[in-house]
C-alpha cells in the first residue's frame, strides 16, 4: 500500500524534499494519468478553488499545463499577462500578488526571471497569515520544481508504468548535459535525481559548469582539485555536517565533467539542456557550431550509452545545437513529448496535494 506524505504549504525548491514526498507525487500523478485517459478527463477535486498563474516571464509548457491541470481539477483559473497588467503603471509584484489574494486566490503559480520572487511572495502571504499556497514555476537561475518532478515521473513511469517510484532509479546513471550554469531545471533535477540513489553526471564546457557549481550541492566541501583525469572530478557526497534542510541523510552521487564522454558512458538517461542565450551576458562559447560539435547529443554519441538509453529535454529546444534535430523527433530515443504529456498529470498531482487541505 502507498502512503501519502504531504505537509507542504508552498513548493519553492526540491532541496529539502524527502523520498516519501517524491513517492507521494509520483503515485498521485499516476492516478491523475489514469483520469486523463478517460473520456471525461475531469474530477471535482478543487471545485470552487481559485488558481492564479502569475507568469512574469514567457512560458509555453509550464503555463499551459498548470492551467490545464487546474481546469481538469475543476478549479477556477486566472491568467496574468504582465504586458497588459497594472505592472506597466508601476504596481509592484507584491501588490499584484495581494490583489490576487483579495480576489480569493487559493494557489498562486509564479514564474519570474529573478531568483527568489516566489519565496518573497510566499513569505509575505505567511506574514499576512493567509492560507494561500505558492508554487515556484521557475525563478531565475534558482529552481523549477515542477519540471524536475515531471522529468522524474517520465523516467520512473517508463521503468514501471503501474507503480512509478523513486527507488526505481537506484543505481541508474543519468547524464545532465549543457548549460548547467544558467539552468534552474538542472538545479531542481540534481536534488530529485540524486535523492533516488541514481548516479548523476553533469557535463558542460568549463564556462557553463564552473568549479564553484559544486558548492550548490555541497557548500562546505572544497571542490576537489583536478588530478590524473583532466576532465573528471571525484564524486561529492552530502554529509551530516550540512544543515538539516539539505536532507543530510541522503547520500548523493554527483559527478562533474568538462567533457561529454565520461558522462555518456553506459548512461541510462541523457538529459539535455537548452543553451540559454538570453542569459549569457558574456562570451561563454566560441560558437554554437563548435558547441554542437563538442557537446551536442547526436545518434552517434548515444552509441556509448546503455543500449536502451533515452533522451530528455525540458524544452524549448534549440534544434541542432544541444540535440540533433533527427534525434529529437525519434521516438526510439526521445522522451520529449512524453515529458510534456506527463506535465499535466504531475501538475494536477501537485495542485491537488497543495489544494486538497484548503476546502
Ligand atoms: N520547460 C519549460 O519551463 O518550458 P516553458 O518555458 O515553455 O514553460
Report pLDDT digits (tens) over 229-272.
333 444 443 333 333 334 445 678 888 898 999 999 999 999 99
Ligand 1 close to Cβ of residue 138 (< 6 A): yes
Q: Of all atoms in ligand 1, which is nearest to the CA of residue 314?
A: 1
Q: Identify the DSSP state of 223.
A: P
Q: Of all atoms in ligand 1, which is nearest to the CA of residue 64?
A: 8
Ligand 1 close to Cβ of residue 276 (< 6 A): no
Distance 159 CA to ligand 1 centre (A): 25
Distance 205 CA to ligand 1 centre (A): 23
Distance 257 CA to ligand 1 centre (A): 26
List per-residue pLDDT tens for the chain, 359 residues long. Answer: 567 889 999 999 999 999 999 999 999 999 999 999 999 999 999 999 999 999 999 999 999 999 999 999 999 999 999 999 999 999 999 999 999 999 999 999 999 999 999 999 999 999 999 999 999 999 999 999 999 999 999 999 999 999 999 999 999 999 999 999 999 999 999 999 999 999 999 999 988 987 766 665 554 444 443 433 333 444 443 333 333 334 445 678 888 898 999 999 999 999 999 988 776 666 787 788 889 999 999 999 999 999 999 999 999 999 999 999 999 999 999 999 999 999 999 999 999 999 987 65
Ordered domains of the chain (ranges, CATH): 19-143+340-358 (3.40.50.1370), 145-339 (3.40.50.1370)
Q: Is the dihedral of CA 18, 20, 22, 25 positive or negative?
A: negative
Q: Of all atoms in ligand 1, which is nearest to the CA of residue 63?
A: 8
Q: Identify the residue whose C-alpha is closest to ligand 1 atom 3.
A: 62
Cα separation, 8 vs 58, in Å, equals: 27
Q: For residue 316, say if its preceding peptide bond is cis, omega within 30 degrees of 0.
A: yes
Q: What pLDDT is recorded for position 287?
A: 83
Closest residue by Cα to residue 327 from 283, 291, 286, 296: 296
Q: Identify the residue whose C-alpha is closest to ligand 1 atom 4.
A: 61
Residue 17 CB burial class (10 angstroms; 0-12, 13-18, ≥19): buried
Q: Which residues, 6+ apart, have CB-to-CB distance to 75 below 8 Å?
A: 46, 47, 48, 49, 50, 51, 106, 107, 351, 355
Among all chains, which residue has been given the C-alpha cell 516519501? Answer: 20
| Other Cβ atoms closer than 10 A to 74 | 14
Pocket test for ligand 1, best of 138, 186, 342 (most atoms within 8 A of CB): 138
CB 267 within 8 A of CB 261: no
C-alpha cell at 20: 516519501
Ligand 1 close to Cβ of residue 61 (< 6 A): yes
Q: What pLDDT is recorded for position 218?
A: 54
Distance 50 CA to ligand 1 centre (A): 22
Q: Of all atoms in ligand 1, which is nearest to the CA of residue 315?
A: 1
C-alpha cell at 301: 554519441
38-81, pLDDT tens digit by residue?
Answer: 999 999 999 999 999 999 999 999 999 999 999 999 999 999 99
CB 235 within 8 A of CB 254: yes
Ligand 1 close to Cβ of residue 62 (< 6 A): yes
Ligand 1 close to Cβ of residue 315 (< 6 A): yes
Q: Identify the residue whose C-alpha is closest to ligand 1 atom 6.
A: 59
Distance 243 CA to ligand 1 centre (A): 31
Ligand 1 close to Cβ of residue 86 (< 6 A): no
Pocket test for ligand 1, best of 57, 147, 277, 318 (most atoms within 8 A of CB): 147
Among all chains, which residue has been given the C-alpha cell 550554469? Answer: 181
CB 165 within 8 A of CB 349: no
Compute the chain's Rg from CA coordinates: 20
Amino acid at each position: 500500500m502507498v502512503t501519502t506524505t504531504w505537509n507542504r504549504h508552498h513548493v519553492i525548491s526540491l532541496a529539502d524534499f524527502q523520498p516519501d514526498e517524491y513517492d507521494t507525487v509520483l503515485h498521485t500523478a499516476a492516478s491523475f494519468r489514469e483520469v486523463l485517459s478517460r473520456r471525461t478527463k475531469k474530477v471535482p477535486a478543487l471545485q470552487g478553488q481559485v488558481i492564479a498563474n502569475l507568469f512574469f516571464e514567457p512560458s509555453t509548457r509550464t503555463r499551459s499545463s498548470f492551467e490545464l491541470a487546474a481546469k481538469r481539477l475543476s478549479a477556477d483559473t486566472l491568467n496574468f499577462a504582465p504586458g497588459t497588467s497594472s505592472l506597466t503603471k508601476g504596481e509592484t509584484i507584491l501588490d499584484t500578488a495581494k490583489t490576487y489574494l483579495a480576489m480569493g486566490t487559493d494557489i498562486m503559480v509564479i514564474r519570474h526571471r529573478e531568483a527568489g520572487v516566489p519565496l518573497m511572495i510566499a513569505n509575505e502571504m505567511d506574514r499576512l497569515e493567509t492560507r494561500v499556497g505558492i508554487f515556484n514555476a521557475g525563478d531565475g537561475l534558482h529552481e523549477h520544481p515542477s519540471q524536475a518532478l515531471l522529468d522524474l515521473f517520465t523516467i520512473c513511469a517508463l521503468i514501471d508504468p503501474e507503480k512509478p517510484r523513486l527507488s526505481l532509479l537506484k543505481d541508474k546513471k543519468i547524464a545532465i548535459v549543457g548549460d548547467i550554469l544558467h539552468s534552474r531545471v538542472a538545479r531542481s533535477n540534481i536534488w530529485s535525481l540524486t535523492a533516488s540513489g541514481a548516479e548523476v553526471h553533469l557535463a558542460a564546457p568549463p564556462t557553463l559548469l564552473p568549479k564553484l557549481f559544486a558548492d550548490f550541492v555541497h557548500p562546505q566541501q572544497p571542490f576537489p582539485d583536478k588530478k590524473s583525469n583532466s576532465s573528471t572530478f571525484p564524486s561529492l557526497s552530502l554529509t551530516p555536517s550540512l544543515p538539516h534542510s539539505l536532507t543530510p541523510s541522503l547520500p548523493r552521487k554527483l559527478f562533474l565533467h568538462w567533457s561529454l564522454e565520461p558522462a555518456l558512458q553506459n548512461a541510462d538517461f541523457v538529459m539535455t539542456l537548452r543553451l540559454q542565450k538570453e542569459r549569457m551576458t558574456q562570451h561563454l562559447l566560441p560558437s554554437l557550431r563548435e558547441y554542437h560539435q563538442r557537446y551536442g547529443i547526436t545518434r552517434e554519441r548515444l552509441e556509448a550509452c546503455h543500449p536502451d538509453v533515452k533522451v530528455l529535454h525540458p524544452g524549448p529546444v534549440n534544434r541542432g545545437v544541444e540535440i540533433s534535430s533527427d534525434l529529437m523527433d525519434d521516438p526510439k530515443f526521445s522522451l520529449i513529448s512524453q515529458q510534456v504529456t506527463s506535465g499535466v498529470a504531475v501538475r494536477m498531482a501537485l495542485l491537488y496535494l497543495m489544494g486538497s487541505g484548503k476546502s
